[in-house]
């Protein structure tokens, strides 16, 4: 969460930083709860193993999707200053 927040904040214009930080906070707080609900529903309908494996596959798929659709994120570097981007 810290790494994601740093990347988002360092690439957000100053005039939007507060709004983006609020949205980031909501996603950071609600995301685990939504994941827990998904896992509980899947485990209740099938088994704990199916919930575990499907959750892992969903995570890998989400990372692959984000990586494929955001080339700027793949090239992100902390060594360059904000003015260089």
Angle at 6 between CA 16 and CA 32, to 5 degrees: 95
pTM of the full structure: 0.67
The pair of structure tokens assigned to 71 is 């080339």
> In degrees rounded to 5, what are phi and psi of residue 32?
-60, -35
Residue 81 has pLDDT above 90, yes or no: no
Kindly state the average pLDDT of the residues 15-27: 91
- The better pLDDT of the pair 26, 75 is held by 26
* Helix-strand-coil split of the chain, %, nearest 5: 80, 0, 20
Q: What is the pLDDT of residue 11?
A: 85
pLDDT (tens digit per residue) in 54-71: 999 999 999 999 989 988
pLDDT over 70 percentage in the chain: 91
């Amino acid at each position: 969460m810290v790494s994601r927040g740093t990347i988002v904040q360092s690439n957000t214009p100053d005039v939007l930083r507060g709004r983006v930080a609020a949205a980031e906070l909501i996603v950071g707080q609600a995301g685990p709860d939504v994941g827990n609900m998904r896992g509980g529903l899947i485990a209740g309908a099938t088994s704990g193993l199916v919930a575990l494996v499907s959750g892992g596959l969903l995570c890998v798929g989400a990372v692959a999707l984000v990586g494929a659709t955001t080339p700027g994120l793949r090239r992100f570097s902390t060594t360059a200053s904000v003015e260089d981007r």
